[in-house]
Amino acid sequence: MLTVPAFAQISAPKGLDHPGIKWDWPIKAENYTFDVTTVSNYDLKNVTFNKMNKELVFLGNSSFHGSIAEITIPTNLIGGNLTVTQDGKPLSAIIIPGTDSSTIMLKFNQTGITNTSVIGTTYLPEFSNVALLVMILSITMVLLMPRLGKF
């Protein structure tokens, strides 16, 4: 009788040396909380939001070359034309705009601590006060128009 040792090994998908890890980051902006989702094969430490610059900054630490990440950002947080930089230098990324969120896919070969920034051209909650004012004026006009027509 012939015996052969059995070993089980979970393999990553072909072409991916390190499987991805998913993080959900609640980002507070004004009176809102937005969920930014990241999937990457390196360690993401933190995500911060800079309202003035309409910028999300992702702090990561990669110990190997061939790092990849997929970032999903709600368009109500930042939107418009998105640009991606890493450590202050422009980074080539695939940006897929959507109606509710934009997805950014990037790949880089840098190891160590990295600061990846996603900068938008719009930040929609900043207009929430103006939208409220327009809505109040519109309702007031609708209610007053029938009364003004009698004079």
- Residue pair 99/52 in contact (Cβ under 8 Å)? The answer is no
The residue-averaged pLDDT of 9-19 equals 47
| Domain 21-123, architecture per CATH | Sandwich (2.60)
Q: Mind giving me the DSSP string for 65-115?
A: S-EEEEEEEETTTSBSS-EEEETTEE--EEEE--SSEEEEEEEE---EEEE
- The residue that leads in pLDDT, 103 or 130, is 103
pLDDT at 73: 96
pLDDT at 6: 46
For 84-122, write each residue's pLDDT tens digit. 999 999 988 999 999 899 999 999 888 899 999 999 998
Q: Side chain identity at 99, as an amino acid letter?
A: T
Q: Side chain identity at 111, as an amino acid letter?
A: T
Q: Where are the domains of the chain?
A: 21-123
Residue of 30, 56, 50 lying closest to 129 (CA atoms): 30
Three-state SS for 126?
helix
For 46-64, write each residue's pLDDT tens digit. 999 999 999 999 999 988 8
